[in-house]
Chains A and B, each alone.
Chain A
Amino acid sequence: MADLMPSGKVTAKIFPHPLNAWYAVAWDHEVTGKALMSRTVAGRPMALYRTRDGRPVALADACWHRLAPLSMGKLVGDDEVQCPYHGLRYNSAGRCTAMPAQETVNPSAMVPSYPTVERYRYVWVWPGDSTLADPDLIPDMHQMDHPEWAGDGLTIHAPCNYQLILDNLMDLTHEEFVHGSSIGQEELSESEFRTRLESDGSVTVERWMLDVEPPPFWRKNIRDRFPDFEGRVDRWQIIHYYAPSTICIDVGVAPAGTGAPEGDRSHGVNGYVMNTITPETDRTSHYFWAFMRNYRLDSQLITTQLRESVRNVFAEDEAMLAAQQAAIDANPDHEFYSLNIDAGGMWVRRILDRMLEAEDRAPVRSAAGSAVGSAP
């Protein structure tokens, strides 16, 4: 790595997405053996279903013949889909198995069958070169279905480029300004944070706010576990990024001075904000999130309350992201500039840029000097 890259190389406003990567396409319960559903990942429309033995399948959502959407068709046999238009059938490997009005099947006829894996309550798909799809590359989101954690989440269909959501989650300073009524507090932008690239290729942004007043969301949480709690807290936010687009945030509070920064969190409460962002198009994203906690695991009330409060918090983000994307599109001649708080987001961009280089799809700098996304 002899040469430095030019300034601004990775600040493309519309960031392309790697194709050789696992993306969550749906919650596990959304994909069924009863009906097909359609969802687009990385610009590739997919028809999703389960085989009779329960395996999730993602076929390209366009019949080989005249490209009618297979997701409008029906499930037949053990693992097949029938096109809604002329009745061609495909098995779960994408091979055509029946054609109308002829005794044979054209051996060339097939649709792509994207590799799928079911893990951490999501169905994951690999939209790129299927011979590279290694399930070990799925990011660690074990809190999603681990017996020591409980919680739930939802999906936001976000009207913005996926990278804007990653930027949002990698810098939580914005909580003070966007989420003032729930989780924001002044100390957020005043406290120090450390950003580092880990040896496993993940990125960590760690911030501690010591001896602060708990904001309303955290006062409720700690009282759920310790009903008599009063006073100030030590609050933490430890952001873990896993390429290409998963961010798990270790969050919590403990009574001030009880040893949480040193590792003893037993007097406090701990949550994990699980986020995995799936690019749909250049300007839209499927944002899968959940809030998991490791206390009072059997309380469905707390699960629902937490899901609903986080839903409200994330609605504030969604509004900001939509407005930001609109402003980006309305100001094509304006560039992004970076601040010190962007360190986490800039590591993410650099890692993504390297993945894209490997696929020959990195953003290129135009003659005018602005970074633009390359064609897919």
Chain B
Amino acid sequence: MTTSAQPDWSTGRVLATAPVAADVQRITIQRPARGRAAPGSHLDVRVPVGDTTDVRSYSIVESDDDGSQLTISVLRVPQSRGGSAFMHTLVPGDELPVTQPLQNFPLSVAAARHVLLAGGIGITAVAAMAQALRRAGDDYTLVYAGRSRERMAYLDELAGLHGDRLVVHIDAEQTPLDVAELVGSIGRHPRSGATELYMCGPIRLMDAVRRAWESAALPLVNLRYETFGSSGWFQPEEFVVTIPERAVEATVRSDETILGALTRAGIDLMYDCRKGECGLCLLDVEAVDGALDHRDVFLSTTQKADGRTISTCVSRVVAREGSPNGPRVSLTLP
């Protein structure tokens, strides 16, 4: 239904692959049926990264009726250490571990009005929502922003499906998205209080929308976004974490978390969601050399600006310009 279940891993088999935009590969995977995947749900897949494996989450763009054939679309990230690059090597017949559809971004048709906002590859998270709202005959608008037409997956298909309800913004064509105008128009609508905005895209875009939403005094609960905890303000870098009271020092590689590095170093920490949502993994910051890159949704804007505490399952440290030392942070245990 609408809440996320525990991941249930099984072997997925690649049925078809095809490029759908520059650097974007559409991949259809077969797995045991679990019922039609709900709009907003995603698959976790296990991918080789270096000499180990890691988990990546990809939104489900299409599902068949019984949920045995699920289509995702993967953007190749240039700095990828292997996740998206590996996904682009898949060919029909390949197998990889996948979960059942997991839900972190449920659509509520109970809202009176819906605006769906996709930035670039974020279209994968809202395409199925638009389809469901269209089928239900609900009031919705799909706003799709991208850098250039070649980089925007599914553009023609969406135009055919949604007609006037699709609004496209393309930087290269001098029709960029104006966030203030978009949020302003929602605020001016007679049903502004009952309008939900669902967004998926680069963190800078989502942050701009969030600020505009707050200053327009729209209900925060109506601003819906997914929190894979995977995108921050900065590229992930390697940094050092220390726990002075235990005399522990560990290196946090760019593909792991503080929580992971400290656990490897033998420190037993409490955590649950590992997505920056529950706040169980918070530690206090004693000193930081560099800047904190808060990637959680648990701490408020004020708490993040204070910088006294950090969500160790997703947040990171990056080097500050002109600082001679590498980035480091020392934390205190509760």
Instruction: Please judge, given known A-B contacts A94-B108, A115-B110, whether A106 and B277 are in contact too, CB under 8 Å.
Output: yes
Residue on A with the closest CB to B4? Answer: A108
Q: CB of B231 within 8 A of chain A? A: no
B104: which of A60, A95, A108, A132 is its contact (CB, 8 Å)?
A: A108
Q: Is the interface of A mostly helix, strand, loop or mixed?
A: loop
The answer to whether A95 and B298 have CB atoms under 8 Å apart is no
Which A-B residue pairs are the 8 nearest by beta carbons? A103-B300, A93-B110, A131-B132, A113-B110, A131-B136, A106-B277, A93-B108, A95-B221
- CB of B53 within 8 A of chain A? no
Can you identify 15 A-B contacts, CB atoms within 8 angstroms? A64-B3, A93-B111, A94-B2, A95-B222, A96-B221, A102-B298, A103-B299, A105-B220, A107-B224, A108-B227, A110-B108, A115-B109, A115-B110, A131-B39, A360-B66
Besides A93-B111, A103-B300, 12 new A-B residue pairs in contact (Cβ under 8 A), listed by A number = A60-B1, A93-B108, A102-B298, A103-B299, A108-B275, A110-B106, A113-B110, A130-B136, A131-B39, A131-B136, A133-B109, A360-B66
Which B positions have Cβ atoms within 8 angstroms of A? Answer: 1-4, 35-36, 39, 65-66, 104, 106-111, 132-133, 135-137, 196, 220-222, 224-225, 227, 275, 277-279, 297-300, 302-303
Tell me whether A104 is interfacial, beta carbon within 8 Å: yes
Q: Which residues of A contact B222 (CB under 8 A)?
A: 95
Q: Which residues of B contact A60 (CB under 8 A)?
A: 1
Chain A proximity of B36: nearest CB distance (Å): 8
In Å, the complex CA distance between A110 and B222 comes to: 12
Does A92 touch B at the CB level, under 8 Å? Answer: yes
Judging by beta carbons under 8 Å apart, are A110 and B3 in contact? yes
For window 26-74 of chain A, which residues contact chain B by CB distance below 8 Å?
Answer: 60, 64
In the complex formed, the residue of A with least CB distance to B131 is: A131
> A230–B107 Cα gap in the complex (Å)?
64
Q: Please, how many angstroms separate the alpha-carbon atoms of A102 and B280 in the complex?
A: 11
The answer to whether residues A131 and B133 also contact, given A64-B3, A107-B297, A108-B104 and a CB cut-off of 8 A, is yes
Minimum C-beta distance from A125 to chain B (A): 12
Distance in angstroms between the alpha carbons of A226 and B225 in the assembled complex: 68
Instruction: Name the residue among B36, B298, B302 with the largest chain A CB count within 10 angstroms.
Output: B298
Check if A111 is an interface residue, CB within 8 A of chain B.
Answer: yes
Closest A residue, CB atoms, query B225: A107
